[in-house]
Structure 1
Amino acid sequence: MRLFVVSMICALLDLMAFLVLIRIGIDPMKAHVLSFVCSNLLYFVCLVTGCLGRIDTTVNSNTSSQQLTVFLLLRILTLSLRGGIFVVAMTTLNLPVALSGASVVLASAAIGLLGDTLFLWPTISVERRKLFAAVGIIIYLLSLRLVFLGFANLLPEEAYYWNYAQHLDIGYLDHPPMVAWLIWLGTTLFGDNEFGVRIGAYICWLLTAGFSFYLARNLFDKATAIACALLVAVLPFYFSTGFLMMPDAPLAAAWVATLYFLERALIGEKRLAWLGAGLSFGIGLLSKYTILLLGPAALLLILIDHRSRQWLGRKEPYLGAAISILFFSPVLYWNATHQWMSFAFQGSRRVDEAFQFTLPSLIVSVAVLLTPTGFIATAASLKANLAAARSRPATARVLFILLFTLIPLSIFVLFSLFHENKPNWTGPLWLAVLPFVASMLIGATGKDTWLEKRLRRAWIPTIGITTAVYALLFHYVVLGFPGIGYIHNIRTLPVAWSEFGQAVNAVEAAAAKESAAPVVLIGMDKYFLASELAFYGRQAQGIRANSVGLSAIGGSSLMYDVWYPAETLLGSTAVLVSLKRSELQQDDLPQYFSSLSNIQEQVVRKNGAIVGSFYYRIGYNLSGCESAGGRCTSSSGS
């Protein structure tokens, strides 16, 4: 009862402080942070003075420093979710400032009261608290992503894939079309905004988590399944696939769905599961070609496991393969009618790249994707399964985990010995071993080695710190923190792309007044600036179709070269935009224009504070460089 009364008193102080702060002119987004800190200082005083009652160490064995850590963690998580709710209330629901403040005060008071009841003054067993913590973190991270989904600026890659959806097709140069189709569906339903672009990724994460849960339950038990869903919620790669609209989002969902149905077919001996596997694999092929690596692993498992070899003589696997090919056929057709450009881009082009030994960076990237604790736990899980396979005839479960992890991994390791690896490439393949990692997390492997004990202890701070980092990062990117500015580089974080687009709009409008020719925007990097300009440089009435990439000046900008051929842009006035002055000083630029203006610097501000700057110059009468009477040369990106 005392806890409830003190919580309500602190909530009242929170609301009063918020109203006073906005009354004296403090930005509401900052006022909500300051009032929250004020109320929680009072709450903390009540905590340390014993006004809320002493923590019963017979129920909760944590030390006082650990209790303080739990208190601070709960406050961080509450503040960040409260910030997301506040921005939704203010900008989406258009509630008055005072009403928005009152709603988030009540919400944060309820969240804080629930967290403190469960973890500072618990009345339930440790095991039930662990269950509530796991489910609570999953729900919290789902809620956190949802409230911030439509407010963080798109990353350049996301804006590029949004441009896919503006040129809807059944194939593209650098990826299959699923990401474009999902963005098209999301923006059709919710509009051309960040929420519409990203909602597909959010739904894909729900599918990834759901199939991971059922895969782990089939391989182990329900407790392991909950732990596996927790890992999918917390580990950086899988967390990001539920927020950022990249090809990895549908790929991860299709990957684990394929694993689930293959497990049901090969271990559960469910004949119809082959059809589900074929469907999932086909959707995966529409998402990213990487899922092809599951094919050799499945075939090898069938050949090695004597029970699985029976499927070679049955029709269901072949029907599943036919379904996959049917789903993939649009991409095959598109490539056949476009000189096989996508297959060449992702295949022969990468193999022909210059020699690079990138195995160390591959290892580091795995540690980032899974966290260091997750990396060590994954390595320990693979070692345990390899030992089990050597010591006795390997069970189907052991073979399943090993083959569907190590076969794809071996391809990436081999590739890294000679070529560059992308940091995100290995992300989906760990879904096969994640159930075993989850079983180690809860101590369900049947062994209790020194390493497993250490890993279980390490997982608690890893999960807490990772969750807190996500929470603080979202709040910082969207709302900021009082007294903490942004790094003066637009490219570092997605905090000011919209302001950047507005600033370029002003430059474009001025150029249009001076020239009767149509104005095009040319971002001077490969495709990042072109994509952000296409999304954030739009006028209110519709889609921008004049952010054209580098093809007009002899460079290459992936699909922009297809969408905006250089010959269609002749005679235009071009606004050349860059984040680096040197890119506008290239010696080859004058050959494409009758004249060029001097380089200008434009500061970008967010809420009155300088976030960064960009450089621009105007080129008049864009023409093919052949008109200058010489051979085209370019250092701009080709």
Structure 2
Amino acid sequence: MPPTPDRPRTVFLMLWGLLLLLKLVVVLRLPLFGDEAFYWWESTALDWAYAEIPAGTPWLIWLGTLVGGDTLLGVRWPFLVMGAAMPWLVWRIARRWFGDTVAWQAGTLALAMPLLATMGALALPDVPLTFATLVCLDAGAMLLGRVSRRGFAWLAFGLVLGALAHYRFPAVIAAGFVGLMLEPRGRALLREPGLWLALLAGALAWLPLLWWNMEHAHAGLSFQLVDRHPWRPQLKGALLPLVQFVFVTPLLLVLLLGTLVHAWRRWRAGDDAMPWGYVLGTAAVPLLGLAVLGVFADTQRVSFHWMLPGYLPLLAVAPVLMAGWRKVWRVLLHVLAAGGVLLALGYLVVAQSPALRERAVAGALPYPTNFAGWDEIGVHVRGRLAELPPDTRVVADNFMLAAQLAFALDRHDVGVLDHPLNHKHGRAMQLDVWDAITTPRDATRPTLLVLAEDATPPREALGWHREICMLAGGLPPAEVFSVDRGRLRFLLFPIMGGEPPRVAAEDCALPALLDVYAPRDGEHVGSTFELRGWAFKDGAGIARIEVLLDGDVVGDAHYGLEAGHVGTFWQNSLDPAHPYVDFAHTLQLPPGQGGWHWLGLRVHGRDGSVEDQRQWRIHVRE
């Protein structure tokens, strides 16, 4: 029996309200994503465009904080509103073509797609990009039905918003053009002045971005189109279509791809009952184009969301095909999709809960690296600044940590070192525009230097820390602040003012580096087992290494065993202790101590430094 119009509407409204409530909880509690913090920082220095994105996202955040203050809700509420409106735009497109019942079902499918359902929980450029895509799709559908000034104005709004959202929006424009050209009514629109006025408005919206690039050595264009992409075939890039089964969910992806094939067949058959060519073009161009592009493009950053614009027109048509499925498959599709949405939101819940993050450190859950630790380091730095002179400046080693500290401390004068991460993520030019790139020491006032250990790969950390030390004229012993059992570690260095003295490389006391041979993380051991590893500390040397079990000291490791391979690998280490940098310690647990335990190490340097290292879990057999 086909559903009555009231039932699909009730289901949609209930799910829409529930999802909005869940996203609101996330918005109010989840620490800012690393990039979110930088977009907030950009919003405090309004410009016509920025190094890595157009102006839309920072300006939306500026609007949000103008109303809600520099809070999580203030930063995110404009994006939450856009995310909440997206299912309604899918509903609107489907209603235009198929009527109320299919429209409510299409809206429900939009709520069930994890990629779309989570939109608006974070203040990221993909939110206005996706919203603008839906607006343009809706405007095109409106104009194919009846030419009107309102349709052209709606299209102009979508084109302007998309131009202000992201460099990827031209793919949406190309898809819309192909979709319209596949329809006789779409080709007829080329004779309408309103279409050209809408396109002109959209084109003018790109001028601020182009002007900014012309003034800044085309930094944004170079990063987005050249520098970040290898432009050669990569196996990992070829997997982009396959990961869609995870992020769209399997049966929903099968339904959407089946809808694409159906649209192609109906268009080939000349069915003019609805604009099948428009659906085909607007879906196929992003899906096929980005699937091919993904083979040659950036694989170091996430790209699974790139194909989302191609699914949007298919969502409006998919309920028609789904009606022909057996009930068990329809139910399973919604169950799997709902599970995907809950998993996506659950990941964000993990990020805001220290207890759940500890389980993630233990391997039970995926660790939310880009969300974790920001609140804790912000509070710690604020407390540390209270102990230092009032004019102490704050300097972070990379753009992401600097932005998070600026947000947490409510100060926009946080300095940044010239870290490779700034260049890798296309932020170096923006920091240069702000004159935010600085040195570790200031001649006129004290500095609190904060380094994020995970921002620098271990192989490069030794050289990077030595470079900082020489620029600063020497570093005091590192103050180590750990989050989530050392999964994240921050190094703090209070540096007094004055001209930096000359320091030789071998005199630079650097943070300790170490690794453990056994037992490894997650390993099962007996009640008596040996702990072995290596450690060195350039410029100071290691006085002793304490072994910790569940946070308590259980003994000192025997340090100074021979390990010539360590010095061979770390050829830039200047610790004179090489090759005697191995350590060992035998642990014997009393009966009844079986189960999971946390092992840790505390390195005492000869310079008085005390550095707690990352903890790892072992399972002791009874």
- TM-score, normalised by the number of residues in structure 1: 0.68
For 1:454 and 1:434, how far apart are their aligned partners in 2? Answer: 20
Give per-residue Cα distances to partners, 1:174-221, cap 9 Å, x unaligned: 111111111111111111010101101111113322222111111222
| From 541, 548, 555, the counterpart of 2:416 | 548
Q: Deviation of residue 312 (structure 1)? A: 2.2
For 2:276 and 2:328, how far apart are their aligned partners in 1? Answer: 23
Which residue of structure 1 lines up, in the alignment, with residue 378 of structure 2?
Answer: 501
**Is contact 1:186-1:198 (8 Å) kept?**
yes
- The answer to whether the aligner puts 1:588 opposite 2:456 as a matched pair is no
For 2:184 and 2:293, how far apart are their aligned partners in 1? Answer: 31
| From 152, 155, 161, the counterpart of 2:30 | 152
SS of the residue corresponding to residue 417 of structure 1 reads helix
User: What percentage of aligned pairs have identical amino acids?
Assistant: 20
SS of the residue corresponding to residue 118 of structure 2 reads helix
| From 158, 177, 181, the counterpart of 2:59 | 181
Which residue of structure 1 lines up, in the alignment, with residue 19 of structure 2?
Answer: 141
- The answer to whether the aligner puts 1:380 opposite 2:246 as a matched pair is no
Which residue of structure 2 lines up, in the alignment, with residue 408 of structure 1?
Answer: 286
SS of the residue corresponding to residue 275 of structure 2 reads helix
| 1:338-487 paired onto structure 2 within 5 Å | 338-350=216-228, 355-392=233-270, 397-421=275-299, 422-441=303-322, 443=323, 448=324, 455-469=329-343, 472-473=346-347, 476-478=350-352, 487=361
SS of the residue corresponding to residue 296 of structure 2 reads coil
Which residue of structure 1 lines up, in the alignment, with residue 433 of structure 2?
Answer: 562
For 1:394 and 1:351, how far apart are their aligned partners in 2? Answer: 41
Residues 469 and 126 of structure 1: CA distance in aligned 2, closer, same or farther (over 3 Å): farther
Which residue of structure 2 lines up, in the alignment, with residue 616 of structure 1?
Answer: 491
Let me know the Cα RMSD of the aligned residues.
3.7
| 1:297-336 paired onto structure 2 within 5 Å | 297-336=175-214
Give, as a single letter, the amino acid of the residue that structure 1 aligns with 2:380. Answer: A
For 1:469 and 1:553, how far apart are their aligned partners in 2? Answer: 30
Residues 461 and 192 of structure 1: CA distance in aligned 2, closer, same or farther (over 3 Å): same
Q: Deviation of residue 288 (structure 1)? A: 1.1
Residues 142 and 549 of structure 1: CA distance in aligned 2, closer, same or farther (over 3 Å): farther
Q: Deviation of residue 165 (structure 1)? A: 0.7
For 1:551 and 1:624, how far apart are their aligned partners in 2? Answer: 22
**Is contact 2:136-2:154 (8 Å) kept?**
yes
Residues 483 and 347 of structure 1: CA distance in aligned 2, closer, same or farther (over 3 Å): closer
Give per-residue Cα distances to partners, 1:131-150, cap 9 Å, x unaligned: 43332111111122224422
Residues 231 and 480 of structure 1: CA distance in aligned 2, closer, same or farther (over 3 Å): farther
Residues 455 and 424 of structure 1: CA distance in aligned 2, closer, same or farther (over 3 Å): same
Aligned residues: 487
- Gaps of at least 5 residues in structure 1 are 1-124, 631-638
For 2:420 and 2:175, how far apart are their aligned partners in 1? Answer: 45
Give, as a single letter, the amino acid of the residue that structure 2 aligns with 1:614. Answer: R
| From 439, 452, 457, the counterpart of 1:578 | 452
**Is contact 1:530-1:549 (8 Å) kept?**
no
**Is contact 2:418-2:438 (8 Å) kept?**
no
Residues 522 and 147 of structure 1: CA distance in aligned 2, closer, same or farther (over 3 Å): closer
For 1:129 and 1:303, how far apart are their aligned partners in 2? Answer: 37
Which residue of structure 1 lines up, in the alignment, with residue 146 of structure 2?
Answer: 268
SS of the residue corresponding to residue 480 of structure 2 reads strand
For 1:590 and 1:211, how far apart are their aligned partners in 2? Answer: 55
SS of the residue corresponding to residue 251 of structure 1 reads helix
Higher share in strand: 2
SS of the residue corresponding to residue 577 of structure 1 reads strand
Q: Deviation of residue 500 (structure 1)? A: 2.0
For 1:273 and 1:224, how far apart are their aligned partners in 2? Answer: 22
Q: Deviation of residue 226 (structure 1)? A: 1.3
For 1:301 and 1:354, how far apart are their aligned partners in 2? Answer: 29
**Is contact 1:358-1:419 (8 Å) kept?**
no
Which residue of structure 1 lines up, in the alignment, with residue 404 of structure 2?
Answer: 532
SS of the residue corresponding to residue 246 of structure 1 reads coil
Give, as a single letter, the amino acid of the residue that structure 2 aligns with 1:433. Answer: L
Q: Deviation of residue 359 (structure 1)? A: 3.9
Query: Structure 1 residues 616-625 or 184-193, which shifts more?
Result: 616-625
Q: Deviation of residue 266 (structure 1)? A: 2.5
Which residue of structure 1 lines up, in the alignment, with residue 393 of structure 2?
Answer: 519
For 2:498 and 2:289, how far apart are their aligned partners in 1? Answer: 45
**Is contact 1:217-1:225 (8 Å) kept?**
yes
Give per-residue Cα distances to partners, 1:225-245, cap 9 Å, x unaligned: 112222222322112212111
**Is contact 1:183-1:197 (8 Å) kept?**
yes
Runs of 4+ that moved beyond 6 A: 480-484, 552-556, 621-625, 627-630
- TM-score, normalised by the number of residues in structure 2: 0.69
Give, as a single letter, the amino acid of the residue that structure 2 aligns with 1:564. Answer: D
- Gaps of at least 5 residues in structure 2 are 506-622
**Is contact 2:229-2:298 (8 Å) kept?**
no
Give, as a single letter, the amino acid of the residue that structure 2 aligns with 1:217. Answer: R
Give, as a single letter, the amino acid of the residue that structure 1 aligns with 2:414. Answer: N
Residues 501 and 453 of structure 1: CA distance in aligned 2, closer, same or farther (over 3 Å): same
Q: Deviation of residue 584 (structure 1)? A: 4.6
Q: Deviation of residue 612 (structure 1)? A: 4.6
**Is contact 2:451-2:492 (8 Å) kept?**
yes
For 1:576 and 1:134, how far apart are their aligned partners in 2? Answer: 48
Q: Deviation of residue 528 (structure 1)? A: 2.8
